Structure 1
Amino acid sequence: MSVQERKQRERADRERLIVVTARELAEQQGWDAVTTRRLAERIEYSQPVLYSHFKGKREIIGAVALQGASELASAVRAATAKADGPRARVTALALAYLDYAADNPAVYDALFQLDGGLPYAREDTPEPLKDAFASLQETLAEVAGEDVHPGMFTELFWASLHGLATLTRTRRLLPGDALRRVELLVDRLAVL
């Protein structure tokens, strides 16, 4: 391995460490607790080293969001692959999405609530974000109906899931009715 390759590997390792540490801190204490000073202390590097990887907190949030998008896509695909039939796949998709949001609140916020500087729904949208949307559309296209564009149906279903995830997390919905809400959403929106 050349010196250049070793330096690139070390740089990539540092960047991963910054993202993992920011994510852990955000999950434990919220995004307000994630500062470059605290990150530098936790990873035992100077603040200038952090700034050599990320311009600031916004870019760190964006990096966490991209990581989360990949994880969300994997979770949705794993859940839908085990389900038999369109209704079961859509239900599995919804439950996997809501579980991911509940289990990873800081990452979910990085994806959908905070400004990580990432463009959504544009040509220059990063691949992990496009793939997360595609993981939803792969299943939802089967139940969109012939008169509805699959992308638009996916947006509507996703918006409904986002609303459920957000309202559940902020305790605006009764937790005991979560499964019934998913069933109602699938019954009313999916053409089976």
Structure 2
Amino acid sequence: MSVQERKQRERADRERLIVAIARELAEQQGWDAVTTRRLAERIEYSQPVLYSHFNGKREIIGAVALQGATELAAAIRNATSKADGPRERVTALAQAYLDYAARHPAVYDALFQLDGGLPYAQEDTPEPLKDAFASLQETLADVAGDTVHPGMFTEVFWASLHGLATLTRTRRLLPADAAERVELLVDRLAVL
């Protein structure tokens, strides 16, 4: 291994460490607790080293969001691959999405609530974000019906899931009715 390859590997390792620590802090204490000073202390590097990897907290949030998009897509695909039939796949998709949002609230915030400097729904949208949307559309296109574009149907279904995730997390909806809400969403929106 060349010196340059070793330095690149070390740099990539530091970036992963920064993202992992930021994510850990955010999940434990919220995003307000994630500061460059605290991150530098936790990773045992100086703030200038941290800034050599990320141009501030916004880019770190973006890196966490990209990691989360990859995980969310995998969770959705895993759940839908185990389900038989369109209704079961859509229900599994909805449940996987809501479970991910509940288990990883800080990552979910990085993805959909905070400014991580990432373009959404544009040509230059990063691949992990496109893939997360594709993981939804792969299942939802089959139940969109003939009168609506599958992409638009996916956006509306996703917006509904996002609303359920957000309102449940902020205790505006009773968690006990979560399964019934998913069933209602699937029954009303999906053409089965």
For normalisation by structure 2, the TM-score amounts to 1.00
Partner of 2:81: 81
State the alpha-carbon separation in 1 of the partners of residues 175 and 15 from structure 2. Answer: 38
Distance 1:189 1:34 in 2: 39
CA distance in 2, matches of 1:93, 1:52: 38
Partner of 2:130: 130
Matched, 1:22 2:14: no
Which residue number in structure 1 is paired with residue 140 of structure 2?
140
Displacement after TM superposition at 1:117 (Å): 0.1
Q: Deviations over 1:89-123 (max 9, x none)?
A: 00000000000000000000000000000000000
Q: Quick one: distance in 1 between partners of 2:21 and 2:53?
A: 14
Alignment RMSD (CA, Å): 0.2
Q: Deviations over 1:141-176 (max 9, x none)?
A: 000001110000000000000000000000000111
Distance of 1:48 and 1:97 partners within structure 2: 37
1-side partners of 2:174 and 2:2: how far apart? 58
State how far apart, in whole Å, the 2-side matches of 1:33 and 1:48 are.
19
1:56 shift after superposition: 0.1
**Alignment-mate amino acid for residue 188 of structure 2:** R
Please give the alpha-carbon distance, in whole angstroms, between the structure 1 residues aligned to 2:181 and 2:111: 23
Residue matched to 2:174: 174
Give unpaired runs (5+ residues) of structure 2: none
The percent of aligned pairs where both chains have the same amino acid is 90
Name the counterpart of 1:185. 185
Please give the alpha-carbon distance, in whole angstroms, between the structure 1 residues aligned to 2:15 and 2:177: 41
Instruction: Please name the residue that 1:6 is paired with.
Output: 6
CA distance in 2, matches of 1:63, 1:48: 18
With normalisation by structure 1, the TM-score equals: 1.00
Structure 2 residue aligned with 1:90 = 90
Aligned partner of 2:4: which letter?
A: Q
The letter for the 1-side match of 2:151 is G
Give the Cα separation in 1 of the matches to 2:11 and 2:174: 46
Matched residues in 2 for 1:91 and 1:175: separation? Answer: 17
Q: Which whole-Å deviations, capped at 9, do the CAs of 1:60-105 have from their partners, x for residues lacking one?
A: 0000000000000000000000000000000000000000000000
Q: Provide the C-alpha distance between the structure 1 equivalents of 2:65 and 2:153, rounded to a whole number of angstroms.
A: 23
Which residue in the other structure is 1:34 paired with? 34
Q: Which amino acid aligns with 2:92?
A: A
